[in-house]
Structure 1
């Protein structure tokens, strides 16, 4: 498994190749599966170092508050990401992360 990346060094391309991939969010109640649905540029239109947004879907019935959660991916490692619930999405619950 990959080591924990430096969040300041992550870019949109690091996630874009993992669309539809499975991630795991560690919660106080255990591990919650996530699927990466979108990885989009925000603000400066995708230029080097620009902000980007990630959109994840979790199973239905798993609504959690916004907080920093450890999120694991086999290739990217474990990242401490601030996730915000955005409501129903693809039959489950959506969570968004913004990197700026």
Structure 2
């Protein structure tokens, strides 16, 4: 698979992504896709951040998840829980 970039995700805001867990799949919704300041000239990609929401009352641990999306396909992503709001927990992935 090619290197993931912000433009892969920019058209997927408010869409569902499925993450594989031992007990089955869980749904994450992409709620934010933002560029980050460039860190190194000539890098393979520009850095960016993604924020996903999961509506489960359970907090999922910081770890690598096997995630899939109907347009993007399957990929591994390291998610870190960053906040909780009325709709669930928020998880961030940073690509640099």
**Please, what TM-score do these two structures have when normalized by structure 1?**
0.84
Q: CA deviation at 1:87?
A: 2.2
Segments of 4+ in structure 1 off by > 6 A? none
The answer on whether the counterparts of 1:57 and 1:90 sit within 8 Å (CA) in structure 2 is no
Q: CA deviation at 1:10?
A: 1.2
Aligned residues: 93
TM (norm. structure 2) is: 0.87
Pairing partner for 1:78 from 58, 74, 79: 74
Mean Cα deviation higher: 68-77 or 21-30: 21-30
Q: Distance in 1 between matches of 2:84 and 2:92?
A: 12
Distance apart, 1:39 and its partner CA? 0.4
Q: Structure 2 stretches of 5 or more lacking a match?
A: none
- CA RMSD in angstroms, aligned pairs only: 1.9
Q: Does 1:40 align with 2:34?
A: yes
Q: Say which SS state the counterpart of residue 37 (structure 2) adopts.
A: coil
Q: d(CA) in 2 for partners of 1:31 and 1:44? A: 34
Q: In structure 2, the residue corresponding to 1:63 is in which secondary structure?
A: coil
Q: Distance between the aligned counterparts of 2:62 and 2:5, measured in 1?
A: 22
Match of 2:45 in 1: 49
